[in-house]
Chain A
Amino acid sequence: MEVLFSLAIDTVLWSRLLTGLTLTFHVIFATVGVGIPLMISIAEFIGIRKRDKHYSLMAKRWTRGFIISVAVGVVTGTAIALQLAIVWPNFMQMAGNVIALPLFMEVFAFFFEAIFLGIYLYTWDRFRNPYIHWLLTLPIVAGATMSAFFITTVNGFMNQPEGFLLEAGQFTAVNPLQAMFNTATPSKVFHVLSSAYLTGAALLAGIAAFSILKKGPTVYAKKALKLMMSVVLIFSILTALAGDISAKFLAEHQPEKLAAAEWHFETEKGADLILLGWLNAEREVVGALRIPKALSFLAFGDFNSEVTGLDEFPLDEQPPLIVHYLFDLMAGTGFMLLAISVLYFVFVFWKKRDEFNRWLLRGIVLTTPLAFLGVELGWFYAEIGRQPWMIRGYMRVEEAATSSPSVRILFFVFLLLYIVLGTLCVLVLRRLFRNRSVEAELEKAAKAKQVRLEEKGEPV
């Protein structure tokens, strides 16, 4: 074994760690980048529609915080674009022929979003018709959604490679569209988008609940909470649906990933769903909660269907068994979000209950970290569950990585960079909102409007 851990293996490990680190950090900001624009757009629209300055202020304040996270997202996104070639040169050389199109289009979508975000930020109060400014949010929402779509198709391709022939170690007869719209694309895109919107809404709902806990139920915070909790409810239902579709996709097309997630070793009919637990030395599941036949139902919608076991796959093609916990915890966070949002609306509509119950509010505050945790765990599950493959069935991870030993040092350089960026981001966001209360801003806006009206009234 020791011989195997030569320098080459070592650089592969460091390459994986570096990419994992960058993506773990980036996905926080990428999710915010996809989720928040929709919330801003909704709030601004309602604000104009209802002529309610609270909602307009929501859009303004969210945008102000959003732009900070966009900056970090752009920076880490640029790092990933470069790291793709730098850390995985062999992968990009081989797969570039097949996945270049969605990568290219992702940049276009990002370009589009960047342009309109710039315009949106610097044109508040510049148009006479408020709807024109609101219209600018649409290309931002569309751009963010499209870039998530395109980049997810690339990940879909790595899980479910299609649209080419393999001849002498090279991809030939490439069909870019077929590679982009591979079998994994629909379920992945659905799951990624619904969970990003869910996370965006959970973040804003959590902030509103936190502010109510600290300062009591102001009109502004109550409106923000109710609006965002409805979005959380809708998207947590959709995310659960998307998760179910993804599981059915895995059962049919990537059975080893589902089997590893469920510690389902032997192929059998009417397979049980295993929750948590641990493995003993003989690979037997101990201490788990078993739901009879539920895995068969989850996989094929039929309690007696046959689910492929992990033992059907050669040992060196099996994903690490730790993904079981990742899967369970991801699904667990999803259901907790759903439960909390349902509970909130039960409290809202059931007159005997107060929806500003402190324990409920604490639960809502908790949804924010839970949503981000769910996203991270989901991506960990998706990516670690694909091991040992870089391109499933075609290229193993160790064939794809760089051979440069510098990658080990770079890991620490980037770790430091992300720590600094993350800390700065938190500090700036705190400073940004701590000294500007909602009430003071509303007053200031009202005064500015008064001044403008007076200026117009008295032509000089």
Chain B
Amino acid sequence: MINYELVGISVLWLFLYGYLIVASIDFGAGFFAFYAKATKQDHLINRLISRYLSPVWEITNVFFVFFLIGIIGFFPSTAYYYGSSLIVPGSIAVVLLAIRGSFYAFENYGSKKSLIYLFLYGATGLLIPASLSVALTVSEGGFIIENGGVVSLKYWTLLTSPLSWSIVGLSVVSVLFISGAFLSFYAARANDQPALKLLRTFALFWSTPTIIAAFTAIIYLSVHNERHFNNMMDLWWLLALSVGFFLVAIWLLYKGQRYGLAFMCIMLQFLCAFFAYGIGQYPYILDPYITIQEGATQEAMGIALVSAFIGGLLLLIPSLILVFRLFLFDADYVKGNK
């Protein structure tokens, strides 16, 4: 029988991946909306963006809470180490998420016209991934000290580490890349040529920094955590697959056809890279304090969580399919006829 802790971490990793995709679309859209407004092109894309994002923003947020509660549930010691050390970056992320969440509530009622609010909305879209990516950096080890039962973050080490900055850079540019590609697909479905033209430029523009940042992060990882790097290199085929999907996506975007397939390729590109990264980190959740085996919750709770998870999915998957059919694949809705 498979260990419940392995099931747990795989499920959580999959959810984090899900969050990465849906949140990227959301965060990047915020930046594009601001950029378009500042360059007076907002009439082209803002309606398109809000049409897709408004019904799903809450779902995006739930993905995050789900991962958070899930990891504390399966691995309670993560609460102790990450909770104690990430008190400042974590709280910053909450404040940013709050500004952003309130935007959706208030957007229908006039805030969209305010450039300042739109700036905040765009800026949070880039700052949230940056502040959340600190948790990934910290998991590589060397940024946390435990002294007499007090866990704290070494801020100076973190702020001067090239690894942490390369991960921040990667998170920001991939957000823009993923978002640009998705919105191109959405614009293509809506048959909105001017929006498509603009968004396709965004997607193509951000593809190069994404791949460069990815390689930079891997290089700094090899300096910082050799074990993790070597494990990832053993999974070279997954990384190669990721690059392959990337190239197909870029080619499709460049040719300007099959935007849906291009976006699927980008999703697969990030899936491969994300799992190569995650599997390479095994068996650690936080190097060297928490391993998957020792940090796991009690067996009874682990099994209960896995069962709750399966039950929950039976409820969620049909509902999510319904949402997609209503708002994503209903051509009439996308075009704005409904």
When the two chains form their complex, are residues B105 and A72 in contact, meaning their CB atoms are under 8 A apart?
yes
Known contacts A82-B94, A104-B305, A118-B58; A112 and B76 CB within 8 A of each other: no
Given the known interface contacts A96-B79, A122-B54, A432-B109, the answer about A101 and B301 at a Cβ–Cβ threshold of 8 Å is yes
The answer on a CB contact under 8 Å between B316 and A78 is: no
Q: Quick one: CB contact mask for B225-249 with A, threshold 8 Å, 1 for yes?
A: 0000000000000000000000000
The answer to whether residues A413 and B91 also contact, given A85-B82, A122-B55, A421-B102 and a CB cut-off of 8 A, is: yes
B257 proximal to A (CB < 8 A): no
* 20 pairs from A and B in contact (CB 8 Å cutoff): A71-B101, A81-B69, A82-B93, A86-B90, A100-B305, A107-B69, A108-B308, A108-B316, A112-B315, A114-B62, A115-B319, A122-B55, A172-B298, A174-B298, A177-B304, A402-B84, A403-B150, A404-B152, A421-B98, A424-B102
Sorted nearest first, the 6 A-B pairs with minimum C-beta distance are A71-B105, A100-B73, A96-B76, A92-B79, A85-B83, A89-B83
Interface of B is mostly: helix
Which residues 44-76 of B sit at the A interface, judged by CB distance below 8 A? 54-56, 58-59, 61-62, 64-66, 68-70, 72-74, 76
Are B83's CB and A431's CB within 8 A?
no
Measured between beta carbons, the chain B residues less than 8 angstroms from A57 are: none
Per-residue interface assignment for chain A, residues 397 to 424, with 1 indicating a CB less than 8 Å from any chain B CB and 0 otherwise: 0000011101100100110010001001
Q: Which residues of chain A from 63 to 94 have a CB within 8 Å of any chain B CB?
A: 67-68, 70-72, 74-79, 81-90, 92-94
B316 in contact with A417 (CB, 8 Å): no
Q: Does A134 contact B (CB under 8 A)?
A: no
Tell yes or no: B136 within 8 A of A by CB: no
Least Cβ distance of B261 to chain A in Å? 26
Is A343 part of the contact surface with B, judged by Cβ < 8 Å?
no
How distant is the Cα of A414 from the Cα of B316 in the complex, in angstroms?
A: 32
Cβ contact within 8 Å between B55 and A121: yes
| A82 and B105 form a contact (CB under 8 A) | no
Asked if B13 CB lies within 8 Å of chain A CBs, one says: no
Residues of B within 8 Å of A346, CB to CB, are none
- Given the known inter-chain contacts A105-B308, A404-B87, please indicate yes or no for A93 contacting B79, CB distance below 8 A: yes
Are A176's CB and B300's CB within 8 A?
yes
A212 to B293, CA, bound (A): 64
The answer to whether B156 has its CB under 8 Å from any CB of chain A is: no
Q: Which of B82, B104, B106, B149 has the most CB of A within 10 A?
A: B106
The residue on A at minimum CB distance from B93 is A82
- A-side contacts of B90, CB under 8 Å: 82, 85-86
Number of interface residues of A (CB under 8 A): 72
Q: Which listed residue (A78, A94, A115) contacts B59, Cβ 8 A?
A: A115
On chain B, the residues within 8 Å of A70 by CB distance are 58, 105
Identify which of B64, B79, B319, B326 gathers the most chain A CB atoms within 10 Å of its CB.
Answer: B79
Given contacts A97-B298, A104-B305, A119-B323, contact A85 B79 (CB under 8 A): yes
| Contacting pair A74 B58 (CB below 8 A) | yes
Contacts of A76 in B (CB 8 A): 98
A428 at the interface (CB under 8 A from B): yes
Mask of B103-137 contacts with A, CB within 8 angstroms, 1/0:
01110011000000000000000000000000000
With a CB–CB cut-off of 8 A, which chain A residues contact B319?
Answer: 112, 115-116, 139
B78 contacts across to A, CB distance below 8 A: 85
Does B320 sit within 8 A of A, measured CB to CB? yes
- Rounded to whole angstroms, the CA-CA distance of A390 and B301 in the bound complex is 21
The majority secondary structure among interface residues of chain A is: helix
- How far is A128 from B76 in the complex, measured between Cα atoms in Å? 49
Question: Quick check: A93 and B87 within 8 Å, CB to CB?
Answer: no
A189 at the interface (CB under 8 A from B): no
Does A111 sit at the interface, judged by CB under 8 A? Answer: yes
Known interface pairs A86-B91, A107-B65, A404-B87; A431-B76 also in contact (CB < 8 Å):
no
Q: Does B204 contact A (CB under 8 A)?
A: no
Q: Evaluate whether A104 and B91 lie within 8 angstroms (CB atoms) in the complex, with A71-B102, A79-B98, A421-B102 already known.
A: no
Do B101 and A74 have beta carbons less than 8 Å apart?
A: yes
Tell me whether A123 is interfacial, beta carbon within 8 Å: yes
Indicate if the CB atoms of B84 and A404 lie closer than 8 Å.
Answer: yes
Given A79-B94, A119-B55, A110–B62 Cβ distance below 8 Å? Answer: yes
| Chain B residues with CB below 8 A from A404, complex form | 84, 87, 152
Does A184 belong to the interface (CB within 8 Å)?
no
Give the distance to chain B from A426, nearest Cβ to Cβ, in Å.
12
Interface code A30-72, partner B: CB below 8 Å = 1, 0 otherwise? 0000000000000000000000000000000000000110111
**B2: min CB distance to chain A, Å:** 19
Do residues A100 and B76 form an inter-chain contact, with CB atoms below 8 A?
A: yes
Apart from A78-B97, A108-B308, A424-B102: 16 A-B pairs, beta carbons within 8 A: A68-B105, A82-B68, A82-B91, A84-B72, A89-B84, A92-B72, A92-B83, A100-B297, A100-B301, A104-B308, A108-B312, A114-B61, A118-B59, A119-B55, A175-B300, A431-B110
**A103 within 8 Å of B (CB atoms):** yes
Out of B64, B87, B94, B104, which one reaches A71, CB within 8 Å? B104
